[in-house]
Amino acid sequence: MSGRRKAEVKASPLSFIATGVSYIALCLAALAALALVVVPMLTGSQTYSVLTSSMAPKYAPGTFLVVKPIPFEELRIGDVITYQIESGSPAVITHRITAISAEQSGEMVFTTKGDNNDVEDELPVREIQVKGKLFYAVPFVGFIANGLGNSDRGAIAQWGAFALMGYGVVALVRGALAKKRNDDDASPEGPTGQGPGAGGDDGTIFPSFGSPAGSGSDILEFSDPILTDCDGCDHDHSRDDNTSGRHRVETRKRATV
């Protein structure tokens, strides 16, 4: 084990840009799914597309409208409503209420007008014609809805929502995996947390004391002085400690590293 630290892997500017673009796309996809599909489904709203310029410039052609049902008596002057041109007809108009009046029968009716029109609508609007009040509008999305057609719009919108949500999940998982991979690559390896026999920053291997002999580790061992026979030697035995024919010889095992 060398004990050297692994060089930290620095993210390139392109990776930062790619990550940023991915998160932006994810946020846009989530907002689109929320605004165009989820909220209308949860609130029971209906969606329409502006085809004419009668409500321009605020609601120009191609604007996607989300119209929420609301009790007729709660509507007020200035509200933008979507109503049938004729009761029971699929064709609708989205105009602003400019006046509220009562007919001789006592029925309440609305006078409406397009913001970009010079005159008010000719016929009054009755309760049975009203589909709801404008909840919110999304510019330009109506062009896509118009291309899908009215008959297939609901099913395609639901599948589109599932696709957007699936993309969001995939993007989140990929981002988490990439972050984990970058963290693993950037984590240093050093003596911290290492057990016996760990190396220093300069590559030195420190011995481990107290390990059993023969364990395979590099062990520095010492032995106590022992007595050994000294027959035939020519040095003075009188200085040995009460021994005859033997003297104290201090030996040590060679340190192994």
The mean pLDDT of the chain is: 73
| Backbone Cα Rg of the chain | 44
Residue 133 has pLDDT above 90, yes or no: yes
> What is the mean pLDDT of the segment spanning 185-200?
52
Q: How far apart are CA 90 and CA 83, in angstroms?
A: 10
Nearest one of 124, 56, 59 to 87, comparing CA atoms: 124
Nearest one of 55, 56, 123, 120 to 84, comparing CA atoms: 123
pLDDT of 142 reads: 78
Residue 197 has pLDDT above 80, yes or no: no
Residue 249 has pLDDT above 90, yes or no: no
Q: What is the DSSP letter of 132?
A: E
- Per the CB < 8 A criterion, the answer to whether 48 and 94 are in contact is yes
C-alpha torsion angle, residues 224, 228, 234, 235 (rounded to 10): 30
> What is the mean pLDDT of the segment spanning 103-119?
95
CA 162: distance to chain centroid? Answer: 17
Better-predicted residue by pLDDT, 127 or 219: 127
Task: Kindly indicate the confidence band of residue 123, based on its pLDDT and cuts at 50, 70 and 90.
Answer: very high
Task: Kindly indicate the confidence band of residue 181, based on its pLDDT and cuts at 50, 70 and 90.
Answer: confident
DSSP per-residue string spanning 16-76: HHHHHHHHHHHHHHHHHHIIIIIHHHHHT-EEEE--SSTTTTTT-TT-EEEEE---GGG--
Q: How far apart are CA 154 and CA 162, in angstroms?
A: 13
- Per the CB < 8 A criterion, the answer to whether 203 and 25 are in contact is no
pLDDT of 178 reads: 73
Highest mean pLDDT, choosing among 48-52, 182-186, 214-218: 48-52
Residues 6 or more apart whose Cβ sits within 8 Å of residue 37: 157, 158, 160, 161
The token pair at 155 is: 């099913």
Task: Kindly indicate the confidence band of residue 149, based on its pLDDT and cuts at 50, 70 and 90.
Answer: low
Residue 255 has pLDDT above 50, yes or no: no
The residue to which tokens 């673009």 are assigned: 21
List, for residues 41-98, the tens digit of each pLDDT value.
899 999 999 999 999 999 999 999 999 999 999 999 999 999 999 988 889 999 999 9
pLDDT of 97 reads: 98
Nearest one of 90, 89, 75 to 127, comparing CA atoms: 75
Q: How far apart are CA 114 and CA 132, in angstroms?
A: 16
Nearest one of 73, 77, 112 to 92, comparing CA atoms: 112
SS3 190: coil
List, for residues 2-11, the tens digit of each pLDDT value.
445 545 556 6
SS3 163: helix
SS3 208: coil
Q: How far apart are CA 123 and CA 36, in angstroms?
A: 32
The residue to which tokens 């911290």 are assigned: 192
Count the Cβ atoms, other than its own, within 10 Å of residue 80. 19
pLDDT of 162 reads: 65
| Whether the model pTM is above 0.85 | no
Percent of the chain at pLDDT exceeding 90? 36
Q: How far apart are CA 83 and CA 134, in angstroms?
A: 11
